[in-house]
Chains A and B, each alone.
Chain A
Amino acid sequence: MIFRLNPSSGVPLYLQLMEQIRHGIETGALKAGDQLPTIRGLAEELVMNPNTVVRAYRELEHEGVIELRHGSGAYVSESVAGRARVTRKAQNIVQSAIERLADLGLTGDEIRRLFDNEIAQLRAGTASGGKDE
């Protein structure tokens, strides 16, 4: 699994790393039980701060995506298999939605903004119980 991080994108590096590990699991590049690189090894390979790798691994552990075993490293959780199935299902839904939006003549950026807005609305709705525009 090759990770590619962009320090200047504005997205925190630990979130980028978490996202790529999740993505690796969703696509099947990382499977339940697979061992992840060591903290030091990954920090050197990607030329990033070891504390940042620790933070990403800890958060993923907290989410149940990986397990940290004392002294022996990080492993992809056995429980991710079910999640991968849900993701594949979701992928089909998103794909058909995007195809229909593209048929209406919307560009990728427009579609992305619509998605972002809806997600923001959803969040605002759950946070305050109401919304208006």
Chain B
Amino acid sequence: MNELVIETHELRKSFKGQPALAGLNLQVPAGSIFGFLGRNGAGKTTTIKTLIGLLRPDSGDARVFGLMPGDSSAGILIRRRIGYVAEDKELYPYMTVAQIIRFTRGFFPRWRDDLEQRYLKMFELPLNRKIPDLSKGTRSKLVLLLAICRGADLLILDEPSDGLDPVSVRDMLRELVALAGSEAITIFFSSHQLEEVEQIADSVCIIDRGAAVVAGSLDDMKTQYQRLRVVFGEQLPAGIRWGEGADYVRQEGRTVEILATHNVEDILNQARSVPGASVERFPVTLKDIFLETVRSN
């Protein structure tokens, strides 16, 4: 589990002087389902395009399977082992579903007929329909099928659930989970749906303005992080310092809200030591972490 499938170090990339990536460090363990989160324009798609060799970083380096995607021969080796679903899910418009499957299969010697049959049935894909006539959701499913069936070791999915109805989202998540359980596969996906990330990801990274603000095991985060609400009896004692771990602090009148990333017990004890203060602690959701870290950054 310690092997890294994706690793970037101080990755930087600007477009017309505007930084899109500003020193991104990313570590994706083999076998993980990795949720990649951030606001629109935070640098998610630029990261993904760099990982698959479509963009070259200005500085820093990226490694996928230990190889550099910017390197042309290594890039080919990497792309052979990746199933990639782009954000726009574009496909050749003049083909039918059956034709695009046959066409794509030709490029991949490790094509998985078993998975193809399974997904055709599960996703109820209309074999003879032309691609422009497909709904957005059906097209998303088709693109996912094409990415998975090539026998990839790494799936990179840019907002895979975009445009899917709730039943299809659940089917897709279940399929990703099944793949992670049965194949030696790593799944790296970006999403705005925090609930789906929370449901299936074991590791996450939140990026903001081109750099990671939070990264690591989701369960560990939920264990270590706590939300604390302290209500003071009178006014806030002057010059109170919350110390280490109280990384995000907001105050409204006599109430202080703290998102503590570690050292929670010390912060609690400190709050309790103020006479008349009442202290409550709450578990932290991914949404709490996202809103807090992205807002105050």
The answer to whether B180 and A50 have CB atoms under 8 Å apart is yes
Of all A-B residue pairs in the complex, the 5 with the closest CB atoms, nearest first, are: A10-B283, A12-B219, A50-B181, A40-B181, A7-B199
Q: Given A12-B222, A43-B177, decide whether A49 and B265 contact each other with a Cβ distance below 8 A.
A: no
Interface string of A1-25 (1 = CB under 8 A from B): 0000001111111110000000000
Min distance, Cβ B174 to any Cβ of chain A, angstroms: 5
Q: What separation, in Å, do the CA atoms of A50 and B288 have in the docked complex?
A: 25
The answer to whether B195 and A47 have CB atoms under 8 Å apart is no
B286's nearest neighbour on chain A, judged by CB, is A8
Interface string of A38-76 (1 = CB under 8 A from B): 011001100111111001000000000000000000000
Q: Given A9-B285, A12-B219, A12-B223, decide whether A44 and B202 contact each other with a Cβ distance below 8 A.
A: no
Other CB < 8 Å A-B pairs besides A12-B223, A44-B178, A51-B202, 11 of them? Answer: A7-B195, A8-B286, A9-B283, A12-B219, A15-B223, A43-B178, A43-B181, A47-B200, A51-B1, A52-B202, A113-B280
The answer to whether B200 and A10 have CB atoms under 8 Å apart is no
Q: What separation, in Å, do the CA atoms of A47 and B200 have in the docked complex?
A: 7
Residue A133 interfacial (CB < 8 Å): yes
Residue B292 interfacial (CB < 8 Å): no
Q: Given A8-B285, A13-B219, A55-B219, decide whether A47 and B173 contact each other with a Cβ distance below 8 A.
A: yes
B residues in contact with A40, CB < 8 Å: 178, 181-182
Interface string of B86-109 (1 = CB under 8 A from A): 000000000000000000000000
B residues in contact with A55, CB < 8 Å: 219
